[in-house]
Structures are given as C-alpha cells and as structure tokens.
Amino acid sequence: MTPLALHEFHAALNARFIDVHGMEAVEDYGDWLAEHAALRGSAGVLDLGFRGRLVLTGADRVRLLNGQVTNNVKDLPAGAGCYAALVTNKGRMQSDLNIYILPEEILLDFEPGLSAALEERFNKFIIADDVQVIDAAPHYGLFSVQGPQAWAVIEKLGLNFARPEKDLHSTSLKDDTLGEMYCMNHPRLGTTGFDLFAPTNSLGALADKLSAAARELGGRAAGWRALETARIESGRPRFGAEMDGSNLPPEAGLESRAISYTKGCYIGQEVIARLRTYGQVAKALRGLRFAEGARPEKGDKLFFGDKEVGYVCSAIHSPALAANLGLGYVRKEHNQIGTALRARGAVGEVEATVVALPFEP
C-alpha cells in the first residue's frame, strides 16, 4: 500500500487508514457520521492524494487525447474541462477521467491504482506524436472541499482564488509560500465542491489552512467512509465499484456527462454509436431501496420472481435518508422505476425496489 504524503498529519488527527486499490486513504477520523454530516450540511475537507494524476504535455496532446476518450476535448479552451470515459476497441471501460485543459498541459484525475495502466495505454498510441505522459502524483497533491459551504472554505484561505463558475472549469494562482495551485469546480457529491491541486511540499501548510477554515464554518476533515456514503446517496457511480472493465459507459448512465456523439472517431466509438442507433443496452445502473434489516453485499443477485435480472454493486445505510440504499445493474425488462425485486446472497433475501436517482427522502 502506497502511503499518503500526509500520513503523519492525518495520524495526528486520530485518522484510521484504509487500502483503496493499493493506495492509502483516510477511512475516518473517529466519527464518520459527523464527517458525513459535514459533507452534506457544511463542508468536509478530503485528502484525495490517493487518486491517480497524469499530465499530458507536447504540441499533439489534445489530438492524441481526443482520439482516446468518449467526450469532446479538442474544442475545450484553456481553463475548461470535461468528464469522459476511456474505453477499449470493444467499448468496455478502462477508466473514467476528469479532464482539465491547462494553458500548457492537460491534467487527468482518476481512480487510484490505474496510473501505470493508463500511462501504458497512452504511450502505446504515441507514434510520431509530440506528447509526453507524466505521472503528476509525486509532484502535486489533491485536496477536495465538498458541501454547501465549500467555496466559503476556499475564500477563508485568503489566497484570492478566482471562482471557476462552471463544472470542471479551473483557475490558478501563484502564491509566494505555497507555489502554483489550481482550483477546480468539481461537485463530487451532487452539491457544491472544489478541488485544489497543490505542490507536494506545500501540502502540510495547505492542510492546516483548510482544516482551520472548515472548522470556522462548522465543517471538518472527512474520510473515505463518509465520502463513499455521500457518493452513493447522490447516485454517482464510481469506477472500481459500480463500473469496471465489463461495463459499457451507457450502462452506467454516463451519456449526458461523458459521451459526445458528434466529436468524431475515438477508440471504441463504433460500438458506443451502434448502441445509440439500434436500441438500449441490455442492463442499466439503477438506484435500489432495500427493506429494513440486513443489507445485501456487492455481487448479490437480483431476482424478479424466480428470474435472475441483475446484481448489486454497492449497499449502504444512509444516515441522511435513514434507509438502506444501493446501486446495481438491472436488465432493461425489469429496471423501470417502482419495480419490486429481491436481492439474494449470504445475508439471505431482502426486498428491493428500483428508484430514481439521485435518491430522495
């Protein structure tokens, strides 16, 4: 497990740690329910330094990336960004990506444990192109502030960041002490949120400032457990949980956020275009509300009567909604809102209802 750059900082806050795809993350600071409440009601500060970060440089970087991902990169100006999927020639997902167009480079942010595979993928397609793929993780850390008071926390830092108004847009500044930093508008949990990319040697000082600013506004540092719970409540799929190499992006409901059907050719484009032209995918990600009692586990099968029609990807007890919720794939014949199913697994059999996303009280 690769440790966080700020392991000692978090340990001093009584953090407990967890392995997320080979990378160390903070699981919680001893009170994950309070951390979750901060993410929902005020502001939670998250060290996302365990996530993957690659940078593409060189004159051909935009052309190369545009031929690899499902969304339109070539028409984005500096300071803009987009969400996209990286798929195989059969349309199956290899990763999802948050893409930021910076003045001299493109920054990619993605789930942990994928850096080597993605770097290999991009290098495979660099023939005579002027493109360099650089692992940015050793050089830049990543903090995220999520919740209704997220921008107020950024303002309290006193760094005079210009607010990026649109999702996945960014601004930057150079601070005499902290160095060059980037602020991204990134609501990871369906509310308000901003990411900060900062030089590694500035992370400790920035962490102190962020923690103090959040506390002044009723927030606090938050860990993986609170983050995952709030993410599932918001109905957002995560690669490695609800998405993997067996999935097509439309199955996970990524069309509106991640797919351009007008951008032209990219690896896997023909498969995804055919899905749109000739009909729906065979299964689709749906919200599931489970009856009270034992919660299903990842991989438990979903049944309509005696017919197997899907499987559970994630299940939580939602503190915000006081209900057992989850995300799972259900075949198109039985995934309409309101359909009654049953989940069967090691914990027994649990009633499940297909519900709209994001989850509502």
The reported pLDDT for the residue numbered 361 is 83
The residue assigned the tokens 């001093």 is: 12
* Cα separation, 10 vs 327, whole angstroms: 31
pLDDT in tens, 292-305: 988 999 999 999 99
The reported pLDDT for the residue numbered 352 is 97
Q: Output the average pLDDT for the chain.
A: 96
The reported pLDDT for the residue numbered 294 is 83
201 in Cβ contact with 249 (< 8 Å):
no
Distances (CA, A) of 303 to 300, 357, 359: 10, 20, 21
The reported pLDDT for the residue numbered 286 is 98
The reported pLDDT for the residue numbered 254 is 96
pLDDT in tens, 232-277: 999 999 999 999 999 999 999 999 999 999 999 999 999 999 998 8
Closest CA to 48 of 153, 149, 198, 167: 198
> And the tokens for 231?
């993410």
What number is the average pLDDT over the span 284-291?
97
> And the tokens for 136?
């940015």
* Cα separation, 161 vs 177, whole angstroms: 15
For 24-30, the CB contacts below 8 A with 24+ separation are: 24/50, 25/50, 25/112, 25/223, 25/224, 26/221, 26/223, 26/224, 27/223, 27/224, 27/225, 28/222, 28/223, 28/224, 28/225, 28/226, 29/220, 29/221, 29/222, 29/223
The reported pLDDT for the residue numbered 322 is 95
- Per-residue confidence band for 278, with pLDDT thresholds at 50, 70 and 90: confident
Assess whether pLDDT exceeds 80 at residue 279.
Answer: no
pLDDT in tens, 5-53: 999 999 999 999 999 999 999 999 999 999 999 999 999 999 999 999 9
Assess whether pLDDT exceeds 80 at residue 343.
Answer: yes
pLDDT in tens, 60-79: 999 999 999 999 999 999 99
What number is the average pLDDT over the span 179-204?
97
The reported pLDDT for the residue numbered 266 is 97
